[in-house]
Amino acid sequence: MTDEQIPPTEREAEQPAADGVSPEASTPSQAREWLAQLQQMIDQIAAHAAPVARDVAAKAAELAAVAGEKAGPLAKRAAEKTGEVGTRVADRSRRFAEEIRHRDDANEPPANPGEPGGDEGAGV
């Protein structure tokens, strides 16, 4: 669509419009009328759609409520299991650390510098 107007043919220029108004004068008023009709149609559609949109929103809220009710106990059980597993992992980690410390203590040679076999004469 362009803003340029196509000049009327000779026949159209000679004949008046059906409603007795020239084509140039009727174009803006006709456009306003069409826009008014379009606005009325949009308003009617919006008026009819509003209750449907409210029903859809209400149903979505109900589904969210049910999902929340069902997810609560599941989340609680998951949290309990996570706590139990965390406690077990912590206990195993503590035992592992103790074992490593005891292994290192058992394998360490005595640290008396005056005794032969000590660290004094170690080659560098």
pLDDT in tens, 14-60: 555 555 555 555 688 899 999 999 999 999 998 889 899 999 999 99
Model confidence pLDDT, tens digit, residues 58-91: 999 999 999 989 898 889 999 999 999 999 999 9
Does the residue 84 lie in any domain? Answer: yes
Does the residue 44 lie in any domain? Answer: yes
Does the residue 15 lie in any domain? Answer: no
| Count of structural domains, the chain | 1
How far apart CA 14 and CA 23 sit, in angstroms, is 11
Does the residue 122 lie in any domain? Answer: no
Residue 39 belongs to domain spanning: 26-107
Does the residue 49 lie in any domain? Answer: yes
* Continuous segment of H or E residues that includes residue 49: helix 23-107
Does the residue 3 lie in any domain? Answer: no
Does the residue 47 lie in any domain? Answer: yes
Residue located via tokens 């040679």? 109
Does the residue 86 lie in any domain? Answer: yes
- pTM here is 0.37
